[in-house]
Structure 1
Amino acid sequence: MLTHPRSGATFQWKDLLKSGDRIFIGSNAAVPSALVDDLITHRGELRDIEATHILTLEDHWARREYDDLFKVNSLFIGGDNVRQAIAEGRADYTPSFLSEVPRLFSDRILPLDAALVMVTPPDEFGYCSLGVSVDVVSAAVKNARHVVALVNPNMPRTNGHSFIHIDQISAWMDSDKPIPELAPPQLDQVTEQIGQYVSLLIEDGATLQLGIGKIPDAVLRYLGNHKDLGLHSEMISDGVIDLIRKGVINNRRKTFHKGKTIATFCMGTRDLYDFVDGNPHVEFYPAEHVNSPVKIARNDNMVSINSAIEVDLTGQVVADSIGYKFYSGIGGQVDFIRGAALSKGGKPIIALPSTTKDGKISKIVAQVTEGGGVVTSRGHVHYVVTEYGIASLRGKSIRERALELIRIAHPRFRRELLNEVRKYYWVPEYQEQMPTPVPELGPVEMKKYTFDGIEYTLRPLHPADERKLQEFFYTHNKETLMMRYNHHVTHMSREKSCSLVSVDQEKDLALCFTDQEEGEVIQGVGRYYYIEANNSCEVAFVIKESRRGKGIASTLLKEMEQVARMRGIDKMIAAVRRDNKPMLAVFENRGFVSKPGDDMGEVYLELDLKSKGSEREL
């Protein structure tokens, strides 16, 4: 029964609505299903009510049997009933950034006759909390002609800008139905691998935004050893609870809303709802605040993690449709991708499996599928992550982007993608070698090292490193060029650089050390060439002059030796100019011994990998 909050007077739905009106239905886990059921039961002569909403955990009103009462206009497609209704033409989808949905209500682009929402019981001052879903509900209650509330004692009382006074409520009814829950997703090996890669992009002190689904939960699982993380996120889920309790997420280094976890809604289990209930460290704000790119950017080192349906080889992100079939919505992806891009030290990340679940279709595509909607432009994204690695797109040309994205595509589709992209002249004919992995470096094929207070990444050279290797070459002085190449090399052409980064890593090996002080810059390169005739490999390396004497060369040699041992190679050899004392010392410290050679100007060095006595600390 609908009653007035103060007088107790009773209402019928016809007292609040007329046929053809537009209503808003509360969001996510705060969907007021009992109110909708009451409206269905006591509809009387009401017809053609437009029901607008974002994602809701229940959506039975979109079934065909209620078509004469409701015409759904979804601002974010979530449930199966809504998705089917849109596919059948019985419902509409209106794309909008979540940060801009409130203005659709306030500017009366979508004027609301009533907002149906779920709230907590009022406190002694008459204030109810919007609980687990403030998002666009806050704007709806401010702009609707009538607010009809479902008062539920099971709704958590959340802090922040989450309150509505009973004088703002036209009518309400009681319900103690449990809040809808969202079980934690079951993680598979692919998702775990993606989570591990993404965690490598997150530095101590970063502030995080996490989207919906398995990948954000997988990322959280790999953050246990991080320090001083913050949260400024559209959504939070069960995955944050342990990290907050352990102090990994403490918000101390945030530069906006310092000391607080900020969200606009949460979805999860009852444990999560109990965790946010009255928690002074977690605050909920409206979407126009939390999702504002300008406000997001006020957090330094903002990391935004979202997913996609497919990504093309230029970096365009399709996220709301599968071809012509609308599947979800824009939501907050662009809000946070843009906010993170504007943030000092920010990282906008798109993370997705390399293929569909059955493995038959690549999600890294040469062209966007016909009918697919580009939600996030090619200019927005800095990183794309699959289970095969991290593609860095910021500042990359179309050709470089294509090579980076092909590298993280499923191996079964890489050749096809390279051939397809060649039709558009993004990749020259001299680029032939497909990216190959170096699994001996570990499951993420990269390692972190710190030398002289600077953090470096050890990783394989990639085909897209062509320009970086050119830049590395042109930093060398004449002495370095003479010591490394034994003659004065004056230039490094694109073709030559391409040949040096296009390595069959399953046979030969090419590793590099990079840092991020001024973008990603190569500071050292080490490689070996496999000699099949005697199961040996010839090794060489070069380090930027300004980074020598810090341990980079020794570490490169150690890592290459470890890979060679794991591959069953019998020995490593090297030829070093006799006057190159520093390089000779690096080899000798790793146990290489001098052997007679034909060239008096060079020292021939050899390391027997079969002898246990030759092993150093690896």
Structure 2
Amino acid sequence: MQLTNKAGTPVQWQDYLKSGHRIFIGSNAAVPNALIDNLIENSAQLHDIETVHILTFSDNVWAKPEHKDLFKVNTLFIGGKNVREAVAEGRADYTPCFISEIPTLFKQNILPLDAALVMVSPPDEYGYCSLGVSVDVVASAVKSAKVVIAQVNPHMPCTNGHSFIHVNQIHAWLTAEQRLPEIPDQQIDPVSERIGQYAAMLVENGATIQIGIGKIPSAVLKYLMNHKDLGVHSEMISDGIIDLMKSGVINNRRKTFHKGKTVTTFCIGTQRLYDFVDKNQHVEFYPSEHVNSPVNIAKNDNMVSINSAIEVDLTGQVVSDSIGHQFYSGIGGQVDFVRGAWLSKGGKPVIVLPSTTKDGCISRIVPHITEGGGVVTSRGHVGYVVTEFGIANLIGKSIRERALELIRIAHPKFRDDLLQQVRKHYWVPTYQDNTPTSVPELGAVELKKFTLGGERFILRPLSPADERRLQEFFYSHTKETLMMRYNHHLTQMTRENSCQLVSVDQHKDLALCFTQRDHLGEIIQAVGRYYFIEASNSAEVAFVIRETQRSKGMATTLLLQMIKIAKKRKLSSLIACVRRDNAAMLKVFENAGFVRGYSEDFDEISLCLTLEETITNAKEIE
């Protein structure tokens, strides 16, 4: 292979590069490896050339120790074995930067580029080559560099959007076939599957999504298959979007920015994906400064950004680029999209991570950031955090409330210690002495979607993090409701009392609630609970429904769910005491099979259900 200029005349690297120059190397799946190999082979008299790049799916030969005199590596995103080792050993530098702002480093000569080494498709009949699967910061590097040297690769797809460069902009090139690196879909493990189920619940029909690659993103996309009218505005796309687009789930119809188009800066996946984006007019590639601009992201209503993390502390600080003192990846586009989702009308910034490390020995929900770890997404930016144990909504939450929310989605074996650790900083009052417990009988995903009265609701366990929500729920009740529920007129629900009511040992007693979410908050609409009576292996049941939500079947649905759980726990019976004048609630119990019995209090009616005789028939909408 021979490097040639525009006229087809053979040229030398020394015609364009001098020792000490700074070069840009193409990104992601578009690393011009043939160019790099050719440069190394013909690098006589060249030294200390600084290489600048982001993530590169390649052998990254320029970062190997044997080339340390030829290349000085400065990576803006760490990835790949050789680059990560070079950074760890001090042979390479890591420069943290938001992806949206990397082009500014080039344009304003903060990191002036002497040359850009990129990969392109063969030119079309008009002389235009495509940057193909990696436009991202490559486009700005091409515009800013003094010299552009290209590897023309027949295997590079021709992608639409702002992805083209004319042959007149290229100073030298060589033609070399190179199969694009493939990253096949990984097998989704049970933890990732559950995280995917929870995260997908935060995506409403008509939303626009940003998502990455890996087991958790694949799981999220899997559970979006029953959604409608989704859009994509994402830094990257992977194989997971193909079937969603072909089935019409992703149609970009309701997008409010780049309507009708899937928009991205790069793609990485299998050959199937590269074939899918080739000349696909429904997928457009734009530079990072456009796609990753928080202002542009926010132009999409109902924007949902889904990003991963290494650890999250109990105040909501998100560590994503380092493991302690060891830099692992980079800032990338996480903050760009978190901020954009925040600014979007109806938007949701979501952070996803397993609750523990792979071996299960270390919690990734931590009382404080590991020494050396760096915050990528601040506690002021975080919105939702999702693990396999649920969704923590941190929006508008105090430090105390955040700690309780995050402890609730931590692995159960670490919850007690996390609560004790957090006490050292007085974030949780002394009366908060119970950690959240699960209701395994609800299934692996403890959130259940129901449609009642034409509205969507979530059924889930109450938890200590619901203290304030339960207070608000109590103060929404009328005097009549309080009398029906408590048989006397309560006037106050203190924090202590509310905390006691939500700090339930769900393995023994049971407390479920119906809630509704908008893009920011969650409101309790109904609560059903039972109290276990050990002496008779039974439980006493009680309900309260928000006045505006009655006659929708909430009490019946809660009761049927509790009957299911009680039967699984092998309880003998359920009992209830209902005021004689509460006809609506009496009807709910009797329709479920409860039988009236003797009561010492004339104003109350006692009811009992023998569980072996019960048949449940709640219609649950998954």
**Aligned CA distance change for structure 1 residues 407 and 511 (closer, same or farther; 3 Å):** same
The residue type paired with residue 7 of structure 1 is A
- Contact persistence 2:160–2:280 (CA under 8 A): yes
Pairwise CA distance, 1:330: 0.2
Q: Please say if 1:610 is aligned against 2:607.
A: no
- Compare 437-446 and 124-133 and name the one that shifted more: 437-446
Shift, 1:429, TM fit? 1.2
Q: Which amino acid aligns with 1:96?
A: C
Q: Cα gap change, 1:616/1:75 in structure 2, threshold over 3 Å: closer, same or farther?
A: closer
Q: Structure 1: how far apart are the matches of 2:440 and 2:295?
A: 41
Distance 1:555 1:181 in 2: 48
Aligned match of 1:435: 436
Check the 8 A contact 2:310/2:320 in 1, yes or no. Answer: yes
Structure 1 residue 455: Cα displacement: 1.2
SS at match of 1:181: coil
What is the CA distance between 1:304 and its match in structure 2? 0.5
Aligned to 1:543: 545
Q: Which residue of 1 aligns with 2:283?
A: 282
Residue 8 of structure 1 pairs with residue 4 of structure 2: no
Q: Secondary structure at the match of 2:233?
A: strand
Give 3-state SS (helix, strand or coil) of 2:20's partner.
Answer: coil
Q: Find the aligned partners of 1:318 and 1:617 in 2 and give their Cα distance.
A: 45
Say whether the 8 Å CA contact 1:365–1:417 is kept in structure 2.
yes
Q: C-alpha offsets along residues 211-254 of structure 1, whole Å, 9 cap, x if unaligned?
A: 23221111111111111111111010111111111111111111
Instruction: Identify which range, 185-194 or 170-179, moves more after superposition.
Output: 185-194
Give the whole-Å Cα distance in 2 for the aligned partners of 1:179 and 1:213. 18
Secondary structure of 1:92's counterpart equals: strand
**Residue aligning to 1:45:** 45
Q: Which residue of 1 aligns with 2:594?
A: 592
| Alpha-carbon distance in 2 for matches of 1:382, 1:346 | 10
Query: Partners in 2 of 1:313 and 1:524 — Cα distance?
Result: 28
1:437-474 deviation digits (Å, cap 9, x = unpaired): 11222221011112233211111101000000000000
Farther off after superposition, 258-267 or 432-441: 432-441
Q: Which residue does 1:54 correspond to in 2?
A: 54
Counterpart of 1:558, as a letter, is L
Secondary structure at the aligned position of 1:610 is classed as: helix
1:20 aligns with 2:51: no
Tell me which moved more, 252-261 or 147-156.
252-261
1:568 aligns with 2:597: no
Contact 1:53 1:74 survives alignment (8 Å): yes
Contact map agreement 1:261 1:283 (CA 8 A) in 2: yes
Which residue in the other structure is 1:261 paired with?
A: 262
* Alpha carbons 2:159, 2:277 under 8 Å: kept: yes
What is the CA-CA distance between 1:389 and the residue it aligns to?
1.0
Q: Which residue of 1 aligns with 2:192?
A: 191
**Residues 408 and 616 (structure 1), Cα distance of their counterparts in 2 relative to 1, 3 Å cut:** closer
Instruction: Give yes or no for contact 1:5–1:167 (8 Å, CA) kept in 2.
Output: no
Deviation per residue, 1:117-157 (Å, 9 max, x gap): 00000011110000000000000000000000000000000
Q: Does 1:314 align with 2:315?
A: yes
Distance 1:93 1:616, change over 3 A: closer
- The match for 2:348 is 347
TM-aligned CA deviation for residue 559 of structure 1 = 1.1
Cα distance in 2, alignment partners of residues 573 and 329 from structure 1: 57
> What's the CA shift string for 1:310-336, capped at 9, x where partnerless?
000000000011111100000000000
Alignment partners' CA distance in 1, 2:67 and 2:431: 61
- CA distance in 1 between counterparts of 2:401 and 2:540 reads 29
Q: Conserved in 2, the CA contact under 8 Å of 1:51 and 1:72?
A: yes
Q: Is the 8 A contact 1:445 1:459 kept in 2?
A: yes
Gaps of 5+ in 2: none
Q: Is residue 223 from structure 1 mapped to residue 209 from structure 2 by the alignment?
A: no
**Pairing 1:205–2:206 present:** yes
Say if 1:307 and 1:616 are closer, same or farther in 2 by CA, change over 3 A.
Answer: closer
Conservation of the 8 A alpha-carbon contact between 1:153 and 1:176? yes
Pairing 1:32–2:32 present: yes
**Structure 1 letter corresponding to 2:401:** E
Tell me which residue corresponds to 1:164: 165
- Please report how far the alpha carbon of residue 2 of structure 1 lies from its aligned counterpart in structure 2 after TM superposition: 4.9
Structure 1 CA distance, aligned partners of 2:483 and 2:611?
Answer: 29
CA distance in 2, matches of 1:73, 1:265: 21
TM-score, normalised relative to structure 2:
0.98
Q: Which residue of 2 aligns with 1:372?
A: 373
Secondary structure of 2:385's partner? strand
How many matched pairs?
Answer: 616
Q: Matched residue of 2:149: which SS?
A: strand
TM-score, normalised on structure 1? 0.98
Shift of 1:179: 1.2
Aligned letter for 1:6? K
Question: How far is the alpha carbon of 1:616 from its aligned partner?
Answer: 4.0
* Cα deviation, residue 567, structure 1: 1.3
CA distance in 2, matches of 1:87, 1:73: 13
**C-alpha contact 1:254 1:299 (8 A) present in aligned 2:** yes
Matches for 1:394-543 after TM superposition, within 5 Å: 394-517=395-518, 519-543=521-545
Deviation at 1:569, TM superposition (A): 1.0
